[in-house]
Chains A and B, each alone.
Chain A
């Protein structure tokens, strides 16, 4: 979630035609590049470097040279689209839509909003308090807080582009379901008294009126999207390279039998193992994709792989540390516990039915 809040710092308003022309040129170039990278990776690995096809090293190197440009290209396009769409949604509007909603419908709406709302982990605290202050119930706020990192909009786009709509839908659907039920359960537990004292004080104070929301022009929205690409791709490329190196190693060297025994659907411990490996491996949506790709290719079960991915993206230690500022340990524990239970459930469910 740390790579979120794209759309920062819009460019100093260039003319729209210049922006538009730039994008109209960039799109065909993007398509052309995307079409040739597979062939190119084979030429590099097997002709230029002279590695044998089907050898461990050859396959690993080909994977690396194919995946690096592929993930970067996909990420660029997806971040652009997502950041552009996000200029139409703001936390303030989401809060107003959710205030004084009943549990149930409120939880469902919050879980869906969590996917698309621009939201940054360093904003978690003000957002949490702002929601509660506006009368959004605690359980509904939790649905939002769970869905936001769990169903990452960039991860969703990447999954769709790399593995098709079924896996993307599965990821979004289960993430939304976890957020929905986690919020519902936490709302029922009446945890308000486990908020830190200063939060309870802040909630009693009268709310001040907001600043008026700005309506950016189309050029400004495109400018924000370009800036989002610069910010995010500029920040996560290292994670991506590390992810691709791990993926290439798995792809080239890890035997299928070993993977099947570790993360296969037949071993009961594969799901908790996937979560246990995933949580400390704090990365982001883009960095974890090449690993997911290699795991699935080597016969890891889909449920275990989904659980792994959700643990990496959704249950991050940094966010937990930030939320500790507003929640007492009991509430943090309940939050992490409910989310972890949801991820485990998803893992077992899909290993059982697929």
Chain B
């Protein structure tokens, strides 16, 4: 899977990136995690509040720092 973490680089975005990497590690799968900090890309994807997370191009949530448990649930589905 391709997991994208959107955020300009504030503390919350970094935490979400960290939680996402932890979730990927625990899932044991071969997933790519990409950090997107380009505002133009975020605008094109319809993101209103950061941090946000997309899996395989589909936006899963925005404006919250999900725990690694929550992200793990999203990856497993």
A contact set with B: CB distance below 8 Å: 5, 7-12, 90-92, 95, 118-120, 122-123, 125-127, 129-131, 133, 198-199, 201-202, 205, 207-211, 214, 224, 322, 325-326
Contacts and interface: CB of A to CB of B under 8 A. Distances in A.
A5 B70 contact: no
B39 A326 contact: yes
Interface in B35-76: 39-40, 42-50, 58-67, 69-70
A126 B64 contact: no
Given A5-B49, A224-B64, 15 more contacts: A8-B12, A8-B15, A9-B19, A9-B66, A12-B69, A92-B48, A95-B48, A120-B12, A122-B8, A122-B12, A122-B50, A208-B45, A209-B46, A211-B60, A211-B62
Interface of B: 7-10, 12-13, 15, 19, 39-40, 42-50, 58-67, 69-70
20 contacts: A5-B12, A7-B64, A8-B12, A9-B65, A90-B63, A91-B63, A118-B49, A120-B12, A120-B63, A122-B8, A122-B12, A123-B49, A125-B8, A130-B43, A130-B46, A130-B47, A130-B48, A211-B58, A211-B60, A326-B39
A122 B13 contact: yes
B49 A119 contact: yes
B48 A126 contact: yes
Contacts of B9: 122
Q: Nearest 3 pairs between A and B by C-beta? A: A211-B59, A122-B10, A8-B65
Contacts of A120: 10, 12, 49-50, 63
B34 to A, nearest CB: 17
Contact of A198 (B7, B13, B19, B40): B40
Contact of B48 (A123, A199, A201, A224): A123
Contacts, number: 95
Contact of B61 (A127, A198, A202, A211): A211
B59 A210 contact: yes
Given A92-B48, A119-B49, A210-B59, A129 B65 contact: no
Given A5-B12, A8-B12, A325-B39, A91 B49 contact: yes
A129 B59 contact: no
Given A202-B40, A202-B44, A205-B44, A126 B50 contact: yes
A126 B10 contact: no
A127 B48 CA distance: 4
A63 B9 CA distance: 39
Given A122-B8, A122-B13, A9 B50 contact: no
A8 to B, nearest CB: 4
Nearest to A206: B44
Contacts of A11: 67
Given A9-B64, A90-B63, A133 B43 contact: yes
A224 B40 CA distance: 30
A58 B54 CA distance: 57
